[in-house]
Amino acid sequence: MPPTTPRRTATPSTSPRPPPPGAPPSTAPTGLRASCARATSGGGTDVTLHWVPPLTSGTISAYQLFLNGAPTTTIVPGIASPGGLGSYTFTVTDPPGTRYSVKIRARLADGKWGDFSAQPTVAVL
């Protein structure tokens, strides 16, 4: 059996704050976590994100991923994840030690983008 590659996990440095009394609920995904592992094929590092979707009255049609503050890709959810969590994995080929700050936001039922998640940082293996 091959040795397993250790995973590094980054968690948000701040917890989401509940909205003040009478304010609308946040539209930000919460609990964003990022972890890295050696890619199983083709080299590079797989970065896996997990999050809790925002509580909204409609369906989330997409998420927008930002790396180091720049929009990178749009994630279109397929089937529901176990436990209702969102997840996404992508591969990077940057040198070990390269750091990424990641954040996401959801496209709400009205077509507008919601609030940003917390922004954890992850380092490439």
Over residues 62-101, the pLDDT tens digits come to 999 999 999 999 999 877 666 678 999 999 999 999 999 9
Joined tokens for residue 119: 């922004």
The closest of 88, 81, 46 to 63, measured between CA atoms, is 88
Output the pLDDT for position 26: 87
pTM of the model: 0.78
pLDDT in tens, 9-44: 443 333 445 555 665 678 999 999 999 999 887 789
Domains plus CATH for the chain? 27-123 (2.60.40.10)
Output the pLDDT for position 1: 43
State how far Cα 25 lies from the chain centre.
20
